[in-house]
Amino acid sequence: MSMTIRILLVIVAIAGIGLLFTFERPPVDVVQSGYRGVAMEQVYNPRTVAAQVDRNQLPPVLEPVDQSGPTAAEVYQNVQVLGDLPETQFLRLMTAITEWVSPEQGCAYCHAEGEDFSSDSLYTKIVSRRMLQMTRTINVDWEAHVGQVGVTCYTCHRGQPVPAEIWFANPGQRTASGMAGWHNGQNQPAEAANLSSLPVDPYSAYFLNADNSIRVIGNTALPTGNTTSIQQTEYTYSLMAHMSESLGVNCTFCHNSRAFASWEQSPPQRVTAWHGIQMVRQLNADYLVPLQPTYPDFRLGPLGDAPKANCATCHQGIFKPLYGQGMLETYPELDRKAAPGSASAAPVDASAVVAK
């Protein structure tokens, strides 16, 4: 064999191995999601989809209960959020949240064994009270995102106390001190951005800080007036990779890639996603971050921050959480606003409860 052929064979072999790991193994299903001819399509691997369908079945719904009779506030001592529910419906919900959040640990995950149910001695109960308020806020105030489908504790928790997808501020990899090897929060495999070298923590930039603009593309032909830096653009792409991964879709689910910035050419899903970004910011700012003092240290992140939510917390790889199957109609008590002035309308002061 001549040297040239040998070299060629080596190149073909390397390229072949590379290709093996670059693309999905055929056959794959392609679903068109935009006008024909603009390559707006989603690629699904039937093997992955089959596993996802299994993981996204709804848990069994509890039998409805007779709702006549006294309210929970009349029967119990310490119900600050759910006091106006009939007592029977209250206990049905307690049974449901046990199934959704702590099926293995049971009631004891939030109610210490041997203590009265009214005791607030476990942090998990205090967190749950705030979670009840958060769930209602999502369903009532964020219809622009969650529609009529809404969410229950199960949407995020899926039968475990800590949801599978949470995030903490990412300090980045430790590097040598001084100027040597300063990564500026990127150029390492970023889990947030599908192991690319984009910034490792787009969440702190966009899901905590509402001031950081996600709009980076100039709207003039020449670079006049657009002061967006390359770094801002990289952060935007890191966020976009997170959003695509969380929903299990391509960029073309929300964009016509010939003009990423143009809203006119984008599918309606992009508007839903925009509301989703605003919603996630509120969930973190008003509910999850303020719970920091309530958590034990082992639940906090490497920088001591509270666990927080992103798109994956609900979506878990699917364009609509649980494929858009609704659970709210069977638990309507999670879809109502607290009466103004009632105790449940006010935020529970988590830190005060723990301190006493």
Q: How far apart are CA 22 and CA 4, in angstroms?
A: 27
Among 34, 40, 92, 128, binds ligand HEC (CB under 6 A): 128
The reply to whether 161 sits near ligand HEC by the rule CB under 6 A is yes
Torsion, CA 237, CA 271, CA 288, CA 337, rounded to 10: 180
Q: How far is the CB of 103 from ligand HEC (least distance, A)?
A: 9
Pick between residue 186 and residue 244 the one whose CB is nearest to ligand HEC. Answer: 244
Closest CA to 193 of 202, 184, 185: 202
The reply to whether 138 sits near ligand HEC by the rule CB under 6 A is yes
Sign, CA dihedral 264-268-269-275, equals positive
Ramachandran quadrant class, 111 (left: phi over 0; alpha: psi -120 to 50; beta: rest): beta
Among 40, 86, 92, 131, binds ligand HEC (CB under 6 A): 131
* Residue appearing with tokens 């935007």: 236
Pick between residue 44 and residue 125 the one whose CB is nearest to ligand HEC. Answer: 125
Using CB under 6 A as the binding rule, the residues of this chain from 242 to 271 that contact ligand HEC are 243-244, 247, 249, 251, 253-255, 260-261, 269-270
Q: How far is the CB of 300 from ligand HEC (least distance, A)?
A: 9
Q: How far apart are CA 150 and CA 82, in angstroms?
A: 19
Task: Determine phi and psi for 153, rounding to 5 degrees.
Answer: -55, -30
Pick between residue 48 and residue 213 the one whose CB is nearest to ligand HEC. Answer: 213
Q: How many CB atoms lie under 10 A from the CB of residue 9?
A: 11
Q: Given the rule CB under 6 A, which of 38-46, 155-163, 171-179, 183-191 is the region that contacts ligand HEC? A: 155-163
Q: How far is the CB of 20 from ligand HEC (least distance, A)?
A: 23
Pick between residue 15 and residue 210 the one whose CB is nearest to ligand HEC. Answer: 210
Q: How far apart are CA 165 and CA 81, in angstroms?
A: 26
The reply to whether 155 sits near ligand HEC by the rule CB under 6 A is yes
The reply to whether 192 sits near ligand HEC by the rule CB under 6 A is no
